[in-house]
Structure 1
């Protein structure tokens, strides 16, 4: 497949909920043709940021654009961006096929596309089953099938590996990397760092709604260090205490070196 190369640009994004600042002055760019891991502790602001990219949450200030446009200004949003957030967003009485047909009709896609994504996600053998009988892993596949109905160039996936067994994780790894090789822009959040390290090309790490570091995985972790070690070094309570409030860690290996030196 060929198509337009679309980046995600987040610029000085801030979101406040009453007295709580969930995201603060956040900026990064997600490049096409790569899988990017969006990482941070619980409550770091990852899901809020992804929802702002999709226009589901209005930012207090700043902007998020996909290929230079806000999500709401895209001519056919579901044909540009596919998203997975909730593994339980199904009518329990619908079969997998009927669920996909409903969303295909909403997006203006033919039933033939339903059959294509069922095959692509290896769901053909269970397409007749009602979604209430699905395991969490099967729901994740159906969610991904739904996101791919419009053959989008950009994918935002929140914890896509939840509920998958080792075989499913291996399948997801190969599947996402193939999507990136096709020139798509893939952004995933996850807490399973050992798996993320085997999937992603780039990482963006945030803590308390702020960017800590962003860059190529190989440059950030080096040849021997693990992503988990880097993550803990950058996001631990001690690291946060040592970091000056106005500090803006830069992209690349120098960021990790600076944080290590602060210890």
Structure 2
């Protein structure tokens, strides 16, 4: 599982994340929600060891990311739409990352098939649409068959068919007992996808719990809950 305890990050005089404590358990998709600038990406980057916390801790199965023996075999991540060599094909990109992580070539073929990358494996990454790039990012994250996934807006650029596929795919991964943390702004999709929610505002925890426990007669949808708790119009 993923755990944060009193997690904080300051950039000079600006506090981006303040004393965040929450747990992301295996076996369900957990949505990480908050307005732009709330601190979601900063938190994810601290979980993945890309930023050093100013205070507190972030662990994966009880260890810091930096202490994992084979990180890509334990954690898969999608944080932004970058990291592709423009002249590499999608297939070549995956082979490079498989070599770096010590993963087999057969695993490259497997992730291309399950993510749909096989359909455009021979195309240079510079020619790929946003949705194709998202699928390639996800395939890269899955190379090590990790038990934990940290995904920042993985549905960006996907068409309705792709979004429906992603929903079923992530649910299937969670159903295998994996830990899946996903940030998104598409609340109607989150309501269909996620079993749990962690919601922050201005770097602080607003609420965390099962989606079904947050929805009520007064706030009948996740959008009502979100707007009510983050200061929008309820």
Counterparts of 2:82 and 2:45 in 1: how far apart (Å)?
17
Counterparts of 2:173 and 2:184 in 1: how far apart (Å)?
18
| Residue of 79, 98, 101 corresponding to 1:107 | 101
Which residue does 1:83 correspond to in 2?
Answer: 77
| Residue of 185, 190, 209 corresponding to 1:191 | 185
Local SS of the residue matching 1:117: helix
Local SS of the residue matching 1:164: coil
- In terms of Rg, which structure is larger? 1
Counterparts of 1:133 and 1:42 in 2: how far apart (Å)?
29
Counterparts of 1:38 and 1:29 in 2: how far apart (Å)?
11
Deviation at 1:110, TM superposition (A): 1.4
Local SS of the residue matching 1:160: coil
Which residue does 1:236 correspond to in 2?
Answer: 231
Counterparts of 1:131 and 1:222 in 2: how far apart (Å)?
45
Structure 1 length normalisation: TM-score? Answer: 0.87
Deviation at 1:222, TM superposition (A): 3.3
Counterparts of 1:140 and 1:32 in 2: how far apart (Å)?
23
Counterparts of 1:195 and 1:89 in 2: how far apart (Å)?
27
Deviation at 1:237, TM superposition (A): 5.8
Counterparts of 1:125 and 1:131 in 2: how far apart (Å)?
13
Local SS of the residue matching 2:22: strand
Q: Which digits, 9 at most, give the CA deviation of each residue in 1:87-131, with x for residues without a partner?
A: 232111100000000000000111111111001111212101111
Q: Say yes or no: does 1:153 pair with 2:147.
A: yes
Q: Say yes or no: does 1:128 pair with 2:128.
A: no
Paired residues in the alignment total: 233
Gaps of 5+ in 2: none
Gaps of 5+ in 1: 1-6, 239-259
Local SS of the residue matching 1:87: coil
Q: Would the alpha carbon gap of residues 237 and 19 (structure 1) be closer, same or farther in structure 2, given more than 3 Å must change?
A: farther
